[in-house]
Structure 1
């Protein structure tokens, strides 16, 4: 397993750095372009959540991102040290998109829904030390079912 760690200020201006790093890693792992784009959207959503929710009251206004590559695929961990949120409540809001006009969509919860739709596995771990979102995309989608 190879791991790369990136730490950015908890500010939206730095999320592009995470996307660039992800693109480089995913390219070396031979992901298809569409898969790389899906991963970039998912990791951006995780980082946006960390900026919006995680930095509030945090002593360290940083986001830690870990890229762990294995033969089976790539796992990306996005961790902030701000106040945690209750994952079940956020996941409950992450209902499938309604088949109506988008003006009727609720604010909040869509980021997690997008992450779940674009990645093979999404895990949210909340503790008193912050929140960690774990995103996994397999190189071979059959590996997800092993």
Structure 2
């Protein structure tokens, strides 16, 4: 059995650094033998998660985004984490949100969380002194993708 490996990338919470995250994802996913379509889906989902942090986490102040890629035997888990503004449980009585925005507001500004859920196998959002979006994609078996 192969032990899980991880790669962590920390970038400024600025739009121009999202491409660096996408390039890193491409390199890791290619080595894992994900298909071109799967890699493109992951790149869109990760871009959405990073863009949410860039636009909403720090309210115009300087901040950083940490992206962790955990390489499993059959799946890749990507966590996009910021330490910016989040929300408390009291703010979420009616519906879950991301950085104080309702799901409807996020979707109207782009495809946001809905798109991430459509493109990935599993999406989780955690709030604890910031926001962490955990995206997981399972790799098709080599026989299926050949």
Q: Return the TM-score normalized by structure 1.
A: 0.80
Larger displacement relative to structure 2 (61-70 or 82-91):
82-91
Aligned residues: 128
1:114-143 CA-partner distances (Å, limit 9, x unpaired): 00000000000012x1000000000138xx
Shift of 1:53: 1.0
- 2:140 is matched with 140
Selected match of 1:88 from 83, 96, 99: 96
1:36 to 39, 55, 58: 39
1:93 and 1:108 in contact (8 A); partners too: no
Residue in structure 1 matching 2:51, options 48, 67, 78: 48
| Structure 2: stretches of 5+ with no match in the other structure | 142-146
Separation in 2, partners of 1:71, 1:25: 13
Q: CA deviation at 1:107?
A: 2.0
Alignment deviations for residues 52-78 of structure 1 (CA, whole Å, 9 cap, x no partner): 1112276x6100000000002100000
C-alpha RMSD of the superposition:
2.2
Question: Contact between 1:8 and 1:63, CA under 8 Å: does it hold in 2?
Answer: yes
TM-score, normalised to structure 2's length?
0.80
